[in-house]
Amino acid sequence: MVSLPRESMELEQILKIGLILFFLWSSSCLPVASVVDATGAIRFRNDTDHLSLLAFKDQITHDPLNALSSWNDTIQFCNWKGVTCSWKHKQRVVVLDLGSLGLEGSLSPSIGNLTFLHRLNLGNNNFFSEIPLELGRLRRLKNLILSFNSFQGEIPSNLTYCSELRILALSHNQLTGKIPASIGNLSSLTLLSLHFNHLGGSIPDDIGRLTTLKYFGVGANNLTGTIPSKLYNISSMQEFSVAQNELQGSIPSDIGITLHSLQSLKLSGNQFDGPIPTTLANASRLEVICIPDNHFSGRVPSELGRLRGLHLLNVEQNHLEGGDAKGWEFLDSLTNCSRLTVLSLYDNMLGGMLPNSVVNLSSQLQVLNLGKNHRISGRIPRGIENLANLDWFTFDDNLFTGAIPESIGKLVRLERLGLSSNRFTGQIPVSLGNLTLLTELYLEQNNLQGPISPSLGKLQHLSILDLSTNRLT
Ligand SMILES: *[C@@H]1O[C@H](CO)[C@@H](O)[C@H](O)[C@H]1NC(C)=O
Ligand SMILES: *[C@@H]1O[C@H](CO)[C@@H](O)[C@H](O)[C@H]1NC(C)=O
Ligand SMILES: *[C@@H]1O[C@H](CO)[C@@H](O)[C@H](O)[C@H]1NC(C)=O
Ligand SMILES: *[C@@H]1O[C@H](CO)[C@@H](O)[C@H](O)[C@H]1NC(C)=O
Ligand SMILES: *[C@@H]1O[C@H](CO)[C@@H](O)[C@H](O)[C@H]1NC(C)=O
Ligand SMILES: *[C@@H]1O[C@H](CO)[C@@H](O)[C@H](O)[C@H]1NC(C)=O
Ligand SMILES: *[C@@H]1O[C@H](CO)[C@@H](O)[C@H](O)[C@H]1NC(C)=O
Ligand SMILES: *[C@@H]1O[C@H](CO)[C@@H](O)[C@H](O)[C@H]1NC(C)=O
Ligand SMILES: *[C@@H]1O[C@H](CO)[C@@H](O)[C@H](O)[C@H]1NC(C)=O
């Protein structure tokens, strides 16, 4: 027998399957129209993918936007909504993009038959099954996006066979169990997003083998233990996000040198301790340092002022200290961060005189929170109106003295002004009536005197006003 060239063999295969199917379908009394098109010609297709898609559709119990109504046999399956077929292998599905369609149901294991799939996006729907092990058969898969669903059960360790994976996004589901060490085999992974699940146990050492990772997100789970030190060696890392877990340990002092590409560091709501490493300033692209609700101690490093792109510095609820000029040097240095939008030092152990340089912080600053440090003293400095974009200004629970300056009325974008539990004296400034966006005004527990300015009547959006425990008349 003469051997056929490869292409003809494939063609023959397709013909055979097409013909067999024709007979199967006609004998089972399904409308022949689905196999014979309008021109009367038999339409040959790769029925593995066709049947896989039908089996997928079969498991969808609710389709509120009728997204899958086009998935019928009046058109070829490569033209169904969300389906893209290979340009070369015409009957093979390479992309299934069905994000944000309100689809509800389970994910059919038949998905594992779409073996040419490069990209599977079912993000932001209501899938509630387990993640099928059959996904491990998708050897060509690069992007797997199942975020924002209700997937249950464990992360299938079979995903280790999807060795081409770049993006693995499983965040915002109901996943339980541990993070499989075998994810460490996915050597091309750039994004690993597992946050907002119920994952427990520790972060496996093997994750440190993902040397091309740019985004590591495991926040809002129940992870315990320390961060494997190898993770701090992934020099491609841009976003490192482990917030809201039960992680502990200190942060390596050279983090900003080993993770020199870091743009965002989110450690909030854990039990990290030790100092804030000064080398963070070496990661010159850092924009977000969000580390509240931990046990960090020592000073806020003044080196952080070298981060010209710093956008958010939130160190709330730690044990940071600094009662003298040295301890406040960081504030002077932060005046160089012209994009700073949020600075929160709330609930630490800072004390001593607030430097006047606070008025030279970025005019883009929206949140300035120094509350609940108990021991910060000084006055609200002249020039505070420079911070013209502030919408949160909170100095509560400290030792501030002097009068509340009239110029505070120039911060017309303020929504929340908290000056309670200090030692402010004098009258309530009439200019507060200009802060027409104010929703919360806390002036209680001070030594304010005199009449309550009628101008406060202009504050139409005010929902909380506390003037108690003063000497107002
Ligand atoms: C998918 O493949 C499995 C074998 O892995 C097979 O049993 C099943 O019939 C296939 N399903 C479809 C819809 O093609
Ligand atoms: C089948 O899909 C076509 C193309 O989107 C659509 O016009 C038609 O209404 C669909 N038929 C059914 C029965 O949903
Ligand atoms: C897991 O993946 C492997 C490798 O692709 C595959 O052979 C196996 O069938 C998959 N397991 C299941 C249950 O599908
Ligand atoms: C994946 O990683 C695990 C543990 O890290 C290892 O034992 C296993 O052999 C690896 N499997 C593959 C298919 O690479
Ligand atoms: C973490 O575990 C505790 C106790 O087992 C549980 O109450 C809590 O809901 C879990 N949190 C998450 C995010 O899974
Ligand atoms: C990090 O990388 C450096 C340099 O390649 C190496 O010396 C060190 O052992 C690595 N640390 C870890 C914990 O892998
Ligand atoms: C980190 O920054 C400091 C201060 O500018 C500098 O002296 C040091 O050389 C930097 N380290 C590295 C490894 O770039
Ligand atoms: C701000 O940056 C300039 C230029 O690099 C530097 O000379 C100055 O000392 C910095 N100011 C503070 C307060 O760190
Ligand atoms: C604020 O900046 C201005 C202009 O750069 C400077 O003249 C002034 O001394 C600074 N004020 C404080 C308190 O640092």
Q: DSSP class of residue 289?
A: E
Which residue's C-alpha comes closest to atom 8 of ligand 2?
70
Q: Are strands 319-322 and 349-353 parallel, antiparallel or unpaired?
A: parallel
**Spatial contact of 166 and 192, defined as CB atoms under 8 Å apart:** no
Q: Is 222 in the pocket of ligand 5 (CB under 6 A)?
A: yes
Which residue's C-alpha comes closest to atom 4 of ligand 2?
70
Q: What are phi and psi of 71, to 5 degrees?
A: -80, 65
- CA of 133 from ligand 3 middle (Å) equals 6
> For the stretch 417-426, what's the b/e string if a residue is b when 16 or more beta carbons lie within 10 angstroms of its beta carbon?
bbbbbbebee
Q: What are phi and psi of 418, to 5 degrees?
A: -125, 110
- CA of 282 from ligand 7 middle (Å) equals 6
The whole-angstrom distance between residue 156's C-alpha and the CA centroid of its chain comes to: 23
pLDDT tens figures, 60-104: 999 999 999 999 989 999 999 999 999 887 789 999 999 999 999
Residues 363, 366, 372, 375, Cα dihedral to 10°: 0
Q: Is 131 in the pocket of ligand 3 (CB under 6 A)?
A: no
Neighbours of 206 (CB within 10 A): 16
The reported pLDDT for the residue numbered 27 is: 29
The reported pLDDT for the residue numbered 268 is: 97
Six token digits for residue 202: 């520790």
Q: DSSP class of residue 93?
A: E
Q: List, in sequence order, every beta strand (DSSP E) within 86-229.
A: 93-97, 104-105, 119-121, 126-127, 143-145, 167-169, 191-193, 215-217, 224-226
Which ligand lies nearest to the CA atom of residue 280 in the structure?
A: 7
Stretches in the chain below the pLDDT threshold 70: 1-46
Give the 3-state secondary structure percentages of the chain, helix then strand then coil, rounded to 5: 25, 25, 50
The residue count of the chain comes to: 473
The reported pLDDT for the residue numbered 43 is: 45
Which ligand lies nearest to the CA atom of residue 79 in the structure?
A: 2
**Spatial contact of 239 and 264, defined as CB atoms under 8 Å apart:** yes
pLDDT tens figures, 249-308: 999 999 999 999 999 999 999 999 999 999 999 999 999 999 999 999 999 999 999 999
Which ligand lies nearest to the CA atom of residue 113 in the structure?
A: 1
Which residue's C-alpha comes closest to atom 4 of ligand 7?
282
Task: Out of 210, 213, 226, 233, give the residue to mutate to test ligand 6, the one with the largest number of ligand atoms within 8 Å of its CB.
Answer: 233
Which residue's C-alpha comes closest to atom 12 of ligand 2?
69
pTM of the model: 0.88
- CA of 330 from ligand 7 middle (Å) equals 17
Burial of residue 23 (number of CB atoms within 10 Å: 0-12, 13-18, 19+): exposed
Q: Which atom of ligand 7 is nearest to the CA of 303?
A: 4
CA distance 248 to 242: 11
Written as one string, the DSSP assignment of 431-473 is GGGG-TT--EEE--SS--EEPPPGGGGG-TT--EEE--SSEE-
Q: What are phi and psi of 342, to 5 degrees?
A: -130, 125
Q: Which atom of ligand 1 is nearest to the CA of 109?
A: 1
Q: Is 446 in the pocket of ligand 1 (CB under 6 A)?
A: no
Which ligand lies nearest to the CA atom of residue 197 in the structure?
A: 5
The reported pLDDT for the residue numbered 90 is: 76
Would you call 194 helix, strand, or coil by DSSP? Answer: coil
C-alpha R_g of the chain: 30
Task: Out of 115, 116, 137, give the residue to mutate to test ligand 3, the one with the largest number of ligand atoms within 8 Å of its CB.
Answer: 137
CA distance 402 to 140: 68
Positive or negative CA dihedral for 315, 316, 318, 320? positive
The reported pLDDT for the residue numbered 15 is: 30
Q: Which atom of ligand 9 is nearest to the CA of 358?
A: 13
Q: Is 282 in the pocket of ligand 7 (CB under 6 A)?
A: yes
Residue (of 5, 20, 125, 6) closest to 62 by Cα position: 125
